[in-house]
């Protein structure tokens, strides 16, 4: 069974919906990268150190469904 699933796609493409469905059916925690990147979604970004700390906590866990699409500039 897959324990780590990363869903990427364009804005408003259904990533959150799909991640929620998978999470519900598999009982694997669902994480939205917007909530990792932003303190206040769409407005205030976390600084790199805090963002990486939050992301590391998720990635080091055994099971997750992550959705979002971010790349370093």
In a domain, 72, yes or no: no
pLDDT tens digits, 2-40:
799 999 998 899 999 999 999 999 999 999 999 999 988
How many domains are contained in the chain?
A: 1
CA–CA separation, 22 vs 41, rounded Å? 23
Mean pLDDT value across residues 58-68: 96
Parent domain of 13: 4-67
What is the spatial distance between Cα 43 and Cα 16, in angstroms, rounded to a whole number? Answer: 19
Does the residue 73 lie in any domain? no
């Amino acid at each position: 069974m897959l324990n780590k699933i990363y869903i990427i796609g364009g804005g408003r493409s259904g990533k959150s919906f799909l991640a929620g469905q998978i999470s519900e059916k598999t009982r694997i925690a669902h994480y939205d990268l917007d909530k990792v990147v932003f303190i206040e979604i769409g407005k205030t970004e976390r600084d790199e150190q805090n963002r990486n700390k939050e992301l590391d906590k998720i990635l080091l866990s055994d099971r997750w469904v992550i959705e979002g699409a971010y790349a370093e500039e």
